[in-house]
């Protein structure tokens, strides 16, 4: 039973809706005519058709060659005739004003019979401005494929699809952003990916409520599990083959129209230190390089804070042989180690930031000026010790070994809390800082999956590809932690060797 109040309220709502629905094609055309690039004309005086389109969105060559000749033809009086004769795929006759608006604004030509008719024919003649597929810049590898995503969703999907030509690769499309109306595609492998995982991602993307979204990293910020963390919780990549192998592993991927990267989830901390290179090299080499990379990260984060801790609190730790060098280099430095370190660290950050903003040629010059000229000058003016300068140089160098750019940034930031804690309580302070970060990492999840796996939860079998890198014949299982529908990737067959003479 509805009370009168409810009825009144409903009436009010209906009125409002009707007002919104009351918008007609004429209103739309009027609204569009405020812009100079809106074109609206009658085909000829004899033919009945009116054409409307937005010049900047359509390919006018196609209109000239494929549409005009038919609209000017008086033998085709109705829209249906026209639809059948125009040699362009994807034409449709529509009536709903919202649909008309959407097709007009996405590069269709709207063809009307008379000026007051509500039924129109929409012909897609979008103009696609895009750069060609290029070499990956942020995730460059020496060997392996050298294609990178570009700003067009369709091209990106093509790059992925052609690597996985199976019907199981499912792509769903979403529209995100109330003003920007960005197209987002969510990819997964049917029959492999855990269905719950797909559901989590689609739900989160559906929940995104933001007006203007220009890059997929904005969506990442909106959907990540802990928005206050400075550890990236989804892996950003610009390499289609990395996406393809993630999909086959049982992960989900999303990518957006207009942004040249795809996001892979769930991810874990160690995945950020594995490069696609690792899979293209012989396994002993790639295992070695991966371990080098992990050590480089540890060094990059801890080296300067260890320097502070040792020079401020724990002089006993310095070996006797090294003591002379250390004392000699710090002898004339007028301030405590902490100021020395922060000064130099900030200089390096400055150089990096300047290098990133400048065009690449000038960027190189800045690198040389900063690295060599300023560095030597600072030591000669004894404003910093040469030992520290070496350390800072090495930490900067080793932070560049991280294959994923986002994680490189995280490591840049991560140094500073350790430096501050080291000044406060020496090694004990660093242990405090480590404890805080470890607790944070233990609690952190990526799309609901633990961020610290395979360390915690402890999955020894997942070590094969995540920490170590065993021969490709041994990587027969998908990561356990993903709980994918198919656990096995393939059945490994061991080749039989002909028996040696000693066994005969």
**Residue ranges in contact with another protein by CB under 8 A:** 313-314, 316-317, 425-428, 430-432, 434-436, 438-439, 442-443, 452, 455-458
- The answer for residues whose C-beta is within 8 angstroms of residue 277's C-beta and 6 or more apart is 141, 142, 143, 144, 286, 289, 403
* Contact by Cβ (8 Å): 371, 351: yes
User: Which residue, 358 or 432, has its beta carbon nearer to another protein?
Assistant: 432
| Least Å from the CB of residue 427 to another protein | 4
| Token code pair at residue 479 | 């990561």
User: Which residue, 240 or 454, has its beta carbon nearer to another protein?
Assistant: 454
Helix (H, G, I), strand (E, B) or coil at 265: strand
| Least Å from the CB of residue 227 to another protein | 18
Q: How far apart are CA 5 and CA 95, in angstroms?
A: 35
Q: How far apart are CA 150 and CA 159, in angstroms?
A: 10
User: Which residue, 397 or 435, has its beta carbon nearer to another protein?
Assistant: 435
User: Which residue, 283 or 428, has its beta carbon nearer to another protein?
Assistant: 428
DSSP-derived letter for residue 494 is P
Residue 249 phi/psi, 5-degree rounding, is: -65, -20
| Least Å from the CB of residue 446 to another protein | 15
User: Which residue, 140 or 425, has its beta carbon nearer to another protein?
Assistant: 425
- The number of residues making up the chain comes to 504
Cis peptide before 442 (omega within 30 of 0): no
| Token code pair at residue 418 | 């350790």
Which residue spans within 361-455 are E strands per DSSP? 445-446, 449-450
What does the DSSP assignment read for 415-468? HHHHHHHHHHHHHHHHHHHHHHHHHHHHH-EETTEETTTTTTTT-GGGHHHHTS
- The answer for residues whose C-beta is within 8 angstroms of residue 296's C-beta and 6 or more apart is 398, 399, 401
User: Which residue, 408 or 426, has its beta carbon nearer to another protein?
Assistant: 426
Residue 406 phi/psi, 5-degree rounding, is: -55, -45
| Least Å from the CB of residue 441 to another protein | 9
> Closest by alpha carbon to 472, among 486, 489, 497, 485?
489
| Token code pair at residue 17 | 């809706």
> Closest by alpha carbon to 31, among 93, 79, 100, 96?
100
User: Which residue, 317 or 346, has its beta carbon nearer to another protein?
Assistant: 317
| Least Å from the CB of residue 422 to another protein | 10
| Least Å from the CB of residue 319 to another protein | 11
Sign of CA dihedral 82, 87, 88, 92: positive
Q: Is 107 left (phi over 0), alpha (psi -120 to 50) or beta?
A: left
User: Which residue, 7 or 317, has its beta carbon nearer to another protein?
Assistant: 317
| Least Å from the CB of residue 480 to another protein | 12
| Least Å from the CB of residue 15 to another protein | 49
| Least Å from the CB of residue 291 to another protein | 15
User: Which residue, 292 or 317, has its beta carbon nearer to another protein?
Assistant: 317
| Least Å from the CB of residue 436 to another protein | 7
User: Which residue, 280 or 313, has its beta carbon nearer to another protein?
Assistant: 313
User: Which residue, 316 or 501, has its beta carbon nearer to another protein?
Assistant: 316
Q: How far apart are CA 504 and CA 499, in angstroms?
A: 7
| Least Å from the CB of residue 231 to another protein | 15
- The answer for residues whose C-beta is within 8 angstroms of residue 252's C-beta and 6 or more apart is 186, 187, 188, 193, 197, 198, 201, 264, 265, 447
Q: How far apart are CA 128 and CA 115, in angstroms?
A: 30
| Token code pair at residue 270 | 């160690």
The upper half-sphere exposure of residue 433, i.e. CA atoms within 13 Å in the direction of its Cβ, equals 22
């Amino acid at each position: 039973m509805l009370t009168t109040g409810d009825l009144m309220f409903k009436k009010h709502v209906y009125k409002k809706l009707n007002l919104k629905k009351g918008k007609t094609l004429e209103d739309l055309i009027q609204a569009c005519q405020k812009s100079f690039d809106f074109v609206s004309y009658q085909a000829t005086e004899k033919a009945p058709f009116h054409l409307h389109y937005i010049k900047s969105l359509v390919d006018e060559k196609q209109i000239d060659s494929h549409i005009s000749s038919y609209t000017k033809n008086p033998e085709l009086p109705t829209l249906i005739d026209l639809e059948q004769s125009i040699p362009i795929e994807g034409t449709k006759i529509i009536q709903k004003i919202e649909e008309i608006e959407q097709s007009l604004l996405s590069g269709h030509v709207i063809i009307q019979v008379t000026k007051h008719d509500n039924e129109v024919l929409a012909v897609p003649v979008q103009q696609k401005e895009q750069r060609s597929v290029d070499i990956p810049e942020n995730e460059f590898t020496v060997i392996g494929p050298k294609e990178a995503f570009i700003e067009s969703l369709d091209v990106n999907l093509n790059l992925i699809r052609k690597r996985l030509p199976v019907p199981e690769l499912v792509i769903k499309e979403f529209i995100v952003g109330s003003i920007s109306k960005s197209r987002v595609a969510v990819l997964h492998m049917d029959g492999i990916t855990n269905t719950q995982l797909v559901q989590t991602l689609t739900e989160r993307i559906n929940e995104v409520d933001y007006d203007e979204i220009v890059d997929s990293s904005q969506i990442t910020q909106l959907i990540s599990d802990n928005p206050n963390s400075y550890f990236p919780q989804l892996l950003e990549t610009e390499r289609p083959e990395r996406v393809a192998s993630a999909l086959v592993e049982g992960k989900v991927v999303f990518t957006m129209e207009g942004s040249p990267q795809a996001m892979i989830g769930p991810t874990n901390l160690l995945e950020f230190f594995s490069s696609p290179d690792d899979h293209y090299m012989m396994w002993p080499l790639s295992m070695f390089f991966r371990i080098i990379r992990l050590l480089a990260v540890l060094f990059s984060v801890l080296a300067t804070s260890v320097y502070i801790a040792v020079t401020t609190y724990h002089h006993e730790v310095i070996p006797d042989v090294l003591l002379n060098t250390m004392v000699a280099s710090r002898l004339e430095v007028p301030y405590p180690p902490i100021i020395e370190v922060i000064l130099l660290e900030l200089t390096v950050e400055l150089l990096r930031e300047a290098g990133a903003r400048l065009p690449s040629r000038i960027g190189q010059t800045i690198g040389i000026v900063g690295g060599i000229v300023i560095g030597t000058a600072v030591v000669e003016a004894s404003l910093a010790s040469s030992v520290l300068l070496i350390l800072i140089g090495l930490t900067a160098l080793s932070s560049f070994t991280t294959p994923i750019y986002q994680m490189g940034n995280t490591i840049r930031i991560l140094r500073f809390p350790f430096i501050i804690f080291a000044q406060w309580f020496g090694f004990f302070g660093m242990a405090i800082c480590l404890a805080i970060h470890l607790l944070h990492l233990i609690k952190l999840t990526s799309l609901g999956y633990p961020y610290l796996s395979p360390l915690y939860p402890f999955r020894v079998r997942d070590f094969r590809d995540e920490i170590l890198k065993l021969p490709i014949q041994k990587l027969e299982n998908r990561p356990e932690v993903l709980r994918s529908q198919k656990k096995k990737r393939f059945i490994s067959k061991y080749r039989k060797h002909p028996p040696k003479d000693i066994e005969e």
